[in-house]
A and B are shown apart, each in its own frame.
Chain A
Amino acid sequence: MTRSVVANQALDCKGLACPMPVVRTKQAMETLKPGEVIEVQATDEGSLADLQGWAKGTGHQYLGTLREEGVLKHYIRKASAEEALEEEPFSPAIGNEALRELLESAADRGKLTILDVREPAEFAFGHIPGAISIPFGELENRLGELDRSHRIYVVCRTGRRSAMACRMLQEHRFSAINVVPGMSGWADGTRSRQAAPMSPGEVARAMIARSPLFILDVRNGDAYADWKIEGPSIASANVPYFELLEGVEPALPYLPEEGTILVACAKEGSSRFVADQLAEAGRNSVRYLEGGMKAWSEHLEPVKIGDLNGGGELYQFVRPGKGCLSYMIVSEGEAAVVDAPRMTGALARFAEEKGAFIRHTIDTHLHADHISGGRKIAEEAGATYWLPAKDADEVVFSYEPLKEGRAIKVGRSEISIQPIYSPGHTIGSTSLIVDDRYLLSGDILFTVSIGRPDLAGQAEAWSGDLRRTLYETYKRLPDRLIVLPAHYGQPEELAEDGSVSAKLGDLYANNPGLNIADETAFDNAVTADLPPQPNAYKQIRQTNMGRLTPDEEEQREMEIGPNRCAIHDK
């Protein structure tokens, strides 16, 4: 049965943290007549105990709380003039400074308790050393945990929730003192030590610069085994956060004695929890990964590849969490984007900073390892979306066919993008020669490996195409072309400036995939004993055809895990 309560006024406090729901309710109450009911909608879990306590202290009648889809609806009836109590600050109270002095004079320490009545999560992210945590909502049932012989200094964020807790303690004959204002005014120097964040960009730059970094990955073991942050200067260990909730000791044997320790988890919360504990345990240079592996998987690091004819520029976007490479060609206020990731905002902002309008988005093939942002950018920017027709049999949207012989121009001085039909990874795969100097090879040719032909289930049929592309079509191209692939396999492939590229001539000399003389041996190499397919590659292809429309969270999950587009990516 659906319960419904009729209220005279609804007050939206969703998203507000303590003390705002109480402050707003108090203001709104003044406009109500005695006997009328207010519905306060809040998402802060602490608002329940706060409003109950506040109503009790002011004489208003707390009626109850309904919970609907994560929103708490509190109902309170306004008191008549006779019922209303004057809300007074709780006394005795003590200022933050006085409390700090008290704590520093060790003589008194044994006879006092610091009681923190904020929510556990607030407590977890910083508290006065030695404080005990009992959320206000649980206090009445947990009074037994408090020592009656102690003076109890009650702390919350602003002094309001703690004042209500003090009244409750006083009613139960405890000696309670309110700390004002509490944690909101607790100076950093004496607050429990907190770890600082490290952004995915900082991690990427450390990886590129080969700066030593130790990562304590606190995700569960399967997640770590499947996919982690790696690099020539990066070492890591895995201790799941649930083994560290009661103390960080299990992780200590793994940690190096010196240098920065980065704690990483899936979304940030647990890494921050663990990093703060390490910092509190006296460990220096502890950071946590901002936004977690989720943010890492989406980070794009732009690197300039070179200048183009007539003042144009070519940029590579390295996605270190995924091994994907995208490109932007900028010339005279226009831009073309090649093999765009789904994080279209970052590319749109970059174009804007360059003062360029995105006119073209191009996918060299129908991707199977990441969700393309090409169509979305094109829609948002009013640009043309290009896709090889042979990869687009099943797509449900309109596109411009990317085709050999049909050059694409960027800017007035005409930076030319010349498509070259180069099947093998997919039947439509088309490479791009930019400004007669760069070969954007898509997933056909990488700097240390070659593409795989099996991601659309046609390995045998396509391996001949792949061989012809690599051993005939590409072979006819000038050796001086700089190859810019859509992927890389190992962080070692990143140059000192963070870019991934190689001269075509050098690849013919050094890339093992270009040096398999025997045709049968080649067929074998690209069809047998391949690394596992990328995570969710079938669904990713369906999404890139427009036949599946996962939400952002689902897209993120589909892309999780290592990139495996080359035949040697094991």
Chain B
Amino acid sequence: MANIDLTVDTKGLACPMPLVKAKRALDGMQAGQVLELLVTDRGALNDFQAWVKQSPNEWISHEEMNGVFRFLIRKG
């Protein structure tokens, strides 16, 4: 279980805001730190995975509970 360094809650926000917020949060983090994102936008999972893939960051995991997605991303 990864230690979470920062949590960003984007529940209720529509695309593109979850990604805008995640990007801004990662900009302020150190390499190796872990960002937890809470997202309710259903289209976000594919978008985030595609985005992380072409960034230096690393996708750790995702899960969904009661309509809330939780993504863990390690800053690269």
Residues of A within 8 A of B (CB): 43, 45, 70, 120-121, 124, 219-223, 240-243, 245, 265-267, 269-270, 273, 553
- Interface residue from B11, B13, B46 paired with A121 (Cβ < 8 Å): B13
- Interface residue from A45, A120, A240, A269 paired with B50 (Cβ < 8 Å): A240
- Interface residue from B12, B15, B21, B46 paired with A267 (Cβ < 8 Å): B15
List of B residues within 8 angstroms of A219 by Cβ: 47
In the assembled complex, how far is the CB of residue A253 from the closest CB belonging to chain B, in whole angstroms? 17
The interface centre, meaning the residue of B12, B13, B23, B43 with most chain A CB atoms within 10 A of its CB, is B43
Q: A240-B51, A245-B23, A267-B43 are in contact. Are A70 and B16 (CB under 8 A)?
A: no
Q: Contact string, B1-44, partner A, CB cutoff 8 A, digits 1/0?
A: 00000000001111111011101000000000000000010110
In the assembled complex, how far is the CB of residue A42 from the closest CB belonging to chain B, in whole angstroms? 11
Complex contact A266–B20 (CB within 8 A): no
How far is it, in angstroms, between the C-alpha of A389 and the C-alpha of B46 when the chains are bound?
40
List of A residues within 8 angstroms of B40 by Cβ: 70
Complex contact A267–B17 (CB within 8 A): no
Complex contact B12–A70 (CB within 8 A): yes
How far is it, in angstroms, between the C-alpha of A43 and the C-alpha of B11 when the chains are bound?
11
List of A residues within 8 angstroms of B11 by Cβ: 70
Q: Contact string, B37-76, partner A, CB cutoff 8 A, digits 1/0?
A: 0001011001100110010000000000000000000000
Q: A220-B47, A266-B43 are in contact. Are A241 and B12 (CB under 8 A)?
A: no
List of A residues within 8 angstroms of B51 by Cβ: 220, 240, 242
Complex contact B15–A245 (CB within 8 A): no
Query: Closest residue of chain B to A218, judged by CB?
Result: B16
How far is it, in angstroms, between the C-alpha of A243 and the C-alpha of B50 when the chains are bound?
11
List of A residues within 8 angstroms of B16 by Cβ: 124, 241-242, 245, 269-270, 273
Complex contact A223–B46 (CB within 8 A): yes
A-B contact pairs, 28 of them (CB 8 A): A43-B12, A45-B13, A70-B11, A70-B12, A70-B40, A120-B17, A121-B13, A121-B14, A219-B47, A220-B47, A220-B50, A220-B51, A221-B50, A222-B50, A240-B50, A240-B51, A241-B19, A242-B50, A242-B51, A245-B20, A245-B23, A266-B15, A267-B14, A267-B43, A269-B15, A270-B15, A270-B16, A273-B16
How far is it, in angstroms, between the C-alpha of A52 and the C-alpha of B20 when the chains are bound?
26
In the assembled complex, how far is the CB of residue B73 from the closest CB belonging to chain A, in whole angstroms? 13
Q: A70-B11, A70-B12, A222-B50 are in contact. Are A242 and B19 (CB under 8 A)?
A: yes
How far is it, in angstroms, between the C-alpha of A341 and the C-alpha of B40 when the chains are bound?
28
How far is it, in angstroms, between the C-alpha of A223 and the C-alpha of B15 when the chains are bound?
15
How far is it, in angstroms, between the C-alpha of A219 and the C-alpha of B15 when the chains are bound?
11
How far is it, in angstroms, between the C-alpha of A254 and the C-alpha of B30 when the chains are bound?
34
How far is it, in angstroms, between the C-alpha of A557 and the C-alpha of B40 when the chains are bound?
16
How far is it, in angstroms, between the C-alpha of A241 and the C-alpha of B50 when the chains are bound?
11
List of A residues within 8 angstroms of B13 by Cβ: 45, 121
In the assembled complex, how far is the CB of residue A293 from the closest CB belonging to chain B, in whole angstroms? 10
In the assembled complex, how far is the CB of residue B42 from the closest CB belonging to chain A, in whole angstroms? 7
Q: A242-B51, A265-B15, A270-B15 are in contact. Are A120 and B20 (CB under 8 A)?
A: yes
Complex contact A45–B14 (CB within 8 A): no
Complex contact B47–A242 (CB within 8 A): yes
In the assembled complex, how far is the CB of residue A19 from the closest CB belonging to chain B, in whole angstroms? 19
List of A residues within 8 angstroms of B14 by Cβ: 121, 267, 269
How far is it, in angstroms, between the C-alpha of A302 and the C-alpha of B48 when the chains are bound?
37
Complex contact A222–B46 (CB within 8 A): yes
How far is it, in angstroms, between the C-alpha of A120 and the C-alpha of B12 when the chains are bound?
13
Give the 9 A-B residue pairs with the shortest CB-CB distance, closest first.
A220-B50, A242-B51, A270-B16, A269-B15, A269-B14, A266-B43, A270-B15, A70-B12, A273-B16
How far is it, in angstroms, between the C-alpha of A45 and the C-alpha of B14 when the chains are bound?
13
List of B residues within 8 angstroms of A266 by Cβ: 15, 43
List of B residues within 8 angstroms of A223 by Cβ: 46
Query: Closest residue of chain A to B52, judged by CB?
Result: A242
How far is it, in angstroms, between the C-alpha of A45 and the C-alpha of B21 when the chains are bound?
14
Supplied contacts A221-B50, A266-B43, 14 more A-B pairs, CB within 8 Å: A70-B11, A120-B21, A124-B16, A219-B47, A222-B50, A223-B46, A240-B50, A242-B50, A242-B51, A245-B16, A245-B19, A245-B20, A245-B23, A267-B15
In the assembled complex, how far is the CB of residue A485 from the closest CB belonging to chain B, in whole angstroms? 32
- Interface residue from B20, B23, B47 paired with A240 (Cβ < 8 Å): B47
How far is it, in angstroms, between the C-alpha of A45 and the C-alpha of B40 when the chains are bound?
14
Query: Closest residue of chain A to B21, judged by CB?
Result: A120
